[in-house]
Amino acid sequence: MSTAATHALDIAGLNAGYGRFDVIRDIALRVGKGEAVGLLGPNGAGKTTVLRSVMGLIRQRRGTIRVAGTDVVAMAPFRIARGLAAMAPEGRRLFLDQTVEDNLLLGGLHLRRDAARQERLLASVYELFPVLKGYRRRLSAALSGGEQQMVAIGRMLMSDPEIMLLDEPSVALSPVAVDIVVRALIELRKRGASILLVEQRIDVATRVCDRLYIMTHGEVVEEMTPDTARGAGMSLINKYLG
Amino acid sequence: MVAMNPARTGPAAEPASHRRALAGLVVVIAYLVLTWFVAQASLSVQSVILVAAVFAVLAISLDLVAGMLGLYSLGQGGFFGIGAYMTTILSSRYGWDVFLLLPAVLAVTGLAGAIVGAMSLRVSGLYFAITTFIVTLVLTVLETNLEITGGLQGLLGPAFPDLPEALAPLGAPVAWCIMLALLFCIGLVWNIRRSALYPVLLSIRDAEPFAEAAGARTALIKVGVFSLSAAMAGGAGWLFSFLGVVSPGQFDWSVSLNVLVMVLVGGINTTLGPIVGAMFVSMFPVLVNINPWLQEILYGALSIAAIALLPEGVIGLGRRLFLGRRGIAAPVAHGDAPPPEAVAAGDPSIEQVDAAKAPAAPRASGEVVLECRGIECGYGLGPKVLKGVDLAVRRGEIHGLIGPNGSGKSTLANVIAGRLGPSAGTVTVRGQRVNGLPPSSRARMGLRRTFQAAELVRELTTTQNVTVGLYDRVPGIVRRAALWPMLPSGRRDGAMMRGRARDALGAVGAAGWTGERVGDVPHGIEQLTQLAAVCIAGPDILILDEPATGLSAREVAHLARILADLRRQGVTMVIIEHQTRFLFPLCDQVTVLNLGEVILTGTADEVRANPTVRQVYLGE
Amino acid sequence: MLQFVASGIAIGCVYGMIGMALAITFYVTRIINFAQGQLMMVTVMVTAEVTGLGYSAWLGVVAGLACSCIIGVLSYLIAVRPILAFNRFGFGWLVSTLGFAVMVENGAAWLWGPTSIPFPTILNNTSVHFGEAAVLTGQQILAIATALIAAVVFEVVRKRTLFGKIGMATAADPEMASAFGVNTTTVAIVAFAASALLAGLAGVMIGPSTFANPYLGDTFGTYGFIAMMIGGGTERPVAALYGGILLGLSAEGANALINSRASDWFPFLVLALILVVSPRGLFSSQSPLMRRRVAAAAR
């Protein structure tokens, strides 16, 4: 088996941005199959830009982005979304005028002809977040922040992607809700999901991830284990995150 | 330094301004010669040119609001019609003198514009276009159905009065009148583009919060400029009435849209674009003399092609061809240039402008100058983002505001600056309750702020953006805008503002970027430009929303020195920041927010030692 | 009294269908297709032409609707997509869709000449009496039925089918929709085809009384636009139908109660008044009329 195929996500030499200046430069990072990897860094470091580049939402991108061996750097987002990558974006961005279950079903569009698989995925989402099952007919706009985040993660799961991209799922959530989200991510990792998690909170990242990358100023500057990060504690915050 | 500014720009500026005045004179004389030829031309040629000139006035009037303020008005056809009908009816039916009618027409259409503007500012963007479109629609219906307007056939416009016998050799007087009116409008807009108001207008268009935070009453300015634009369109109607029959079809919504075609095809927000566009659109049927339907089809195809292929219009294309692609060679060296060591954060001359508002106070011992009490705030139907937040900042202190993303820090900044109204609680500035005051009024009280995502005009240079910060510090920017480059005081103030903006940029460490457009600078420089734009105004209280985001380590260190310097000058600051290593050494007090509530207010050491804070950040 | 109400509803349904057609494309792409009236005209002209050649009226209608759909999709590909690709928030589409309208209208005038040609009567010669008070032609009843069916079908598709949900998702957040596998171009093409079909149907309903004329599109496009605006169709396409009915009622009402020419100006007065009160339309979520209901629904 080639090395490329053993990685869920393999980014090399990635530059991406909007105007004349690239926001991220020469990014290289890997997420193995079944691995959970954290991407930490201060606001403005370019973490979200990395996720958006993988998803194809930034046109101006150069380098290689391989998802399970397929180079997606020239692909349109709606093709990347068909089983390769899926994201739970910053700010959740649910389809607020639709029900919880519709949001989930829209997550797995490319599986619409495979009802059995979709049914299984839906069941697994409700198993992960039992509270959503009771809300399935409710408008997603009527949910609390934590519940919306669960829908966003569930929507991501519905496409059964090779790599899951999560952008700060802990933002603006109460400690209880953060805990539910973290437990869900740990459960996903146990089920063998490959995860790239952008976080600002070290505690969330260290609990979920096998490996951490630190980004500042559009570059990946360090790679460490969760234990090192935990050990570094406040000094890591002082050094990079604030 | 105040005395030095003109001295430094003086010797270089004088010959340049003489050259510019001379060039202007040559252009004006050439234009008058052209007018002379038009006035002598045969009637058919003359009418083609004069119709084009009237439409050019109309296109300029649209470009004024669409180009500089981003208000795509489809009401120009309606105002045009008001002007033409008012002139025709009052002069031929009631015998008013046409020259007396001109000011009346300008006043009526200007007032109509102000009313429509004030009403449709409730909605923005597309809905503004739709509302003005409907104004035109309703006016056309009135013109068609009223008795006095002569229905679909319309009315014959008044004849233009003859010149005195002595001036007869000049040719057709109506030609002189229309061409001079066009020259006047070109000059007016040209002046505004070179005035200190121009960057303010563009910032209202692209970055309204920034303009408001600089003290601009943006709604009032929008209504005012729209009123001017409507008066200009009404004036075009006055001119048009001398060219023959006035009928509803000449002022309907398709005219409004055609005016937009002129502006977009010629090049929006350029001086010559609307004129080129007007010539293209109004002369097209004359020049392309084929089957009328085929001609219309060709016109439709050309306008689609122009929009799709020349998004910046003909003038934009020409600029790119002749001037080359500016700034392709990126000034890479700038980022590495060390910031000047001698930091005078904020020009010392600021104190002269605003001495009363920024007294040199002893640090951190004074009275409470900024206080929030029991602030509650939420967006829409969602949960509250701020829950009973209290914050008190003493004169001359730096107050840090930290907390995880989503904890409500920026929301609190917006409440203090006036962009968001709290659902409960009060904000007081120097003991005065400011609830309900708009951001611009708070800016005038000396309260300035920066934004987390820089709000700036990307097509202007950093220097021009920084001059916006002086908006409420230099008197008469709006009043003098129409004549700005012709007034000695305008030229002097313009040079002074640019000079001070360059100095302010230098002081914050962006000296190498003063001539670059904001769209072409890296994120860190945008942050510094924002900072320069607030420092230049000599603020009393500063709210900085993540000023260190995107800055390199060296720039962060420099920023810390600037902020320390500002405090020494007595500026009170609230700084939202994540980088505690940068923030804590600066702060007298730190407030920690989490999930919309204040966890703790204390010194940096107390915050560092607090277990709850460690838990919020580290989950310990 | 009842007569003007009945005929007002009938003509209002035609305006409403064009308004809905405008609103559907607006819903998905956030642009107003100024060629919408011309798409209606295409159906009318082609139907008249095919029938004039001796084929059955129904074949003509099908051919006309098909042509409208094709030209509707072309209007997206030529006049909308290239412009949005450059700047999604600019106003270039105002000019390009108008340019497209000019091309279609003058193309038709060139092909068929500027005068009216006969249109098949369909149900225009049958009449239905509602007691003493009102008489409607079969065609008018057909128009009302078609509009109601179209509105119901649209709502069912939007709310109950996967395609409708994809459309709603694309309308709400195109970027997220594409990040979950939606080809937004396909959605837009379908929306333009559907809206051309709806405009074409409106043309079939009104054709027997107006005859086929290349300049029909101007008037009916404007009325459709007004229907959308007073209804608030920019937020909910179905509201355009209510707006259309209101417009039809005010036009017929003005004719019946003021004088025979009042329909030329009275509806515009209604339009201006409604937009002063509620700039986004009478049945939009921001209108004073609807605000309480929206708040109640959220609770």
Cβ neighbours of residue B131 closer than 8 Å, sequence gap 6 or more: B116, B119, B120, B123, C275, C279
**In terms of DSSP H, where are the helices of chain C?**
2-29, 36-52, 57-74, 81-86, 92-112, 138-160, 162-172, 174-179, 184-210, 216-231, 239-257, 266-277, 288-298
Local structure of B545: helix, strand or coil: strand
pLDDT at site B522: 83
Highest mean pLDDT among B196-205, B319-328, B475-484: B196-205
Q: What is the pLDDT of residue C146?
A: 96
Closest CA to A99 of A140, A132, A133: A140
Q: In Å, how far is A82's CA from the nearest CA of chain C? A: 6
| B308 and chain C in contact, CB less than 8 A | yes
| pLDDT surpassing 90 at residue A118 | yes
Mean pLDDT within B195-210: 94
How many Å apart are CA B397 and CA B362, to the nearest integer? 10
A241 touches B: beta carbon within 8 Å: yes
Contacts of A56 in chain C (CB under 8 A): 179
> In this structure, how many other beta carbons lie within 10 angstroms of the beta carbon of residue C292?
9
pLDDT, position B356: 36
C-beta atoms of B580 and A43 within 8 A:
no
Contact criterion met (CB < 8 Å) for A242 and B552: no
| Residue A141 to residue C168, Cβ atoms within 8 A | no
Chain A residues close to C182, C-beta within 8 Å: 78, 106, 109
Section B176-183 average pLDDT: 95
Q: Are A141 and C178 an interchain contact pair (Cβ–Cβ within 8 Å)? A: no
- Indicate which of A23, A176, A201 best probes the interface with B, i.e. most B CBs within 10 Å of its own CB: A201
- The SS3 assignment for B323 reads helix
Percent of chain C with pLDDT over 90: 60
State the pLDDT at residue C299.
Answer: 39
Q: Quote the strand ranges of B120-182, DSSP E.
A: 155-156
Rounded CA gap, B225 and B67, in Å?
A: 12
CB contact under 8 A, A89 and C168: no
**Residue C162 to residue A105, Cβ atoms within 8 A:** yes
Residue B175: per-residue pLDDT: 93
Is the pLDDT score of C208 beyond 50?
Answer: yes
pLDDT over 70 at C89, yes or no: no
The pLDDT, as a whole number, for residue C288 is: 65
Rounded to an integer, the average pLDDT of B150-158 is 87
**What are residue B378's phi and psi, to 5 degrees?**
-150, 165
pLDDT of residue C298: 44
Name which of B407, B522, B578 is nearest A43 (Cβ-Cβ).
B578
Give me the residue from A78, A93, A112 closest to C178, CB to CB: A78
Number of Cβ atoms within 10 Å of the Cβ of A91: 12
Q: What are phi and psi of A81, to 5 degrees?
A: -70, -15
* Cα–Cα distance measured from residue B105 to residue B235, given in angstroms and rounded to the nearest whole number: 7
The kind and range of the H/E element at A211 are strand A211-216
Neighbouring CB atoms inside 10 A of B445's CB total 17
pLDDT in tens, B347-360: 333 333 333 333 34
Check pLDDT > 80 for residue A236.
no
Residue B142 touches chain C, beta carbons under 8 Å: yes
Residue B2 has pLDDT above 70, yes or no: no
A124: tokens are 């697994």
Q: Domains of chain C: which residue ranges?
A: 2-215
pLDDT at B619: 53
**What's the rounded Cα separation, in Å, for the pair C290 and B236?**
42
Measured CA distances, B490 to A208, B15, B218, B362, B487 (Å): 62, 17, 22, 38, 5
Distance of alpha carbon B126 from alpha carbon B116, whole angstroms? 15
Of C175, C181, C298, the CB nearest to A109: C181
Question: pLDDT class for B318, splitting at 50, 70, 90?
Answer: confident
Q: Residue A41: its pLDDT value, please? A: 86
* Cα(B81)–Cα(B581) distance, integer angstroms: 64
Question: Which is more confident, B327 or B155?
Answer: B155
- C138-160 and C2-29 are packed helices; what angle lies between their axes, rounded to 10 degrees? 30
DSSP code for A149: H
Q: What is the mean pLDDT of residues A198-226?
A: 90
- The token pair at A157 is 């799961």
pLDDT of residue B333: 38
- pLDDT tens digits, C129-187: 887 778 889 999 999 999 999 999 999 999 899 999 999 999 999 999 999 999 999 99
Alpha-carbon span B186 to B168, nearest angstrom: 26
User: Does the structure show a pLDDT above 90 at A88?
Assistant: yes
| DSSP code per residue over A11-76 | EEEEEEESSSSEEEEEEEEEEETT-EEEEE--TTSSHHHHHHHHHT--S-EEEEEEETTEE-TTS-
Q: Could you say which of A96, A98, A159 has the minimum Cβ distance to residue C180?
A: A159
Is the pLDDT at B544 greater than 60? The verdict is yes
Q: Mind listing the domains of chain B with CATH numbers? A: 18-322 (1.10.3470), 328-446+540-620 (3.40.50.300)
Task: Label residue B404 by pLDDT band (50, 70, 90).
Answer: confident
Please tell me which of the candidates B452, B519, B618 has its beta carbon nearest to residue A233. Answer: B618
- The token duo for C239 is 């509201």
- Amino acid B338: pLDDT: 39
Neighbouring chains of C at 3+ CB pairs under 8 Å are A, B
pLDDT value, residue A241: 61
Distance CA A202, CA B618 (A): 6
CB contacts, 8 Å: B254 with chain C? 98
Cα gap A225→A185, rounded to integer Å: 18
The pLDDT value recorded for residue A173 is: 85
The torsion angles phi and psi of A62, rounded to 5 degrees, stand at: -130, 155
When pLDDT is cut at 50, 70 and 90, the band that residue B115 belongs to is: very high
Do the beta carbons of residue B585 and residue B561 sit within 8 Å? no
What radius of gyration, in Å, describes the C-alpha atoms of chain A? 17
Cβ–Cβ of C265/B141 closer than 8 Å? yes
Establish if C86 touches chain A: CB-CB under 8 angstroms.
Answer: no
Average pLDDT, chain A: 90
Quickly list H helices, chain A: 3-6, 47-55, 77-80, 100-107, 115-128, 130-134, 145-157, 175-190, 202-208, 226-232, 234-236
Q: Which residue has the tokens 């008005």?
A: B73
What's the distance, CA A76 to chain centroid?
18
**CA-CA distance, A15 to A60, in Å (whole number)?**
8
Instruction: Residue A21: list chain B partners with CB under 8 A.
Output: 521-523
Position B17 scores a pLDDT of 73
Report the alpha-carbon distance of residue B570 to residue B210 in Å, rounded.
Answer: 24
Q: What is the mean pLDDT of residues A145-151?
A: 93
- CA gap B85, B93 in Å, rounded: 11
Mean pLDDT of chain B: 86
Q: Which of A93-97, B407-411, C145-149, C258-262 shows the lowest mean pLDDT across its residues?
A: C258-262
Query: How high is the ipTM of this complex?
Result: 0.91
Chain B residue closest to C276 (CA)?
B119
pLDDT beyond 50 at A2: no
pLDDT class of B574 with cuts at 50, 70, 90: very high
Per-window interface: C 233-292 vs B, CB < 8 A: 261, 264-265, 268-269, 271-272, 275-276, 279-280
Q: Does A164 touch chain C (CB under 8 A)?
A: no
Note whether A234 contacts B549, CB cutoff 8 Å: no
pLDDT at C293 (0 to 100): 53
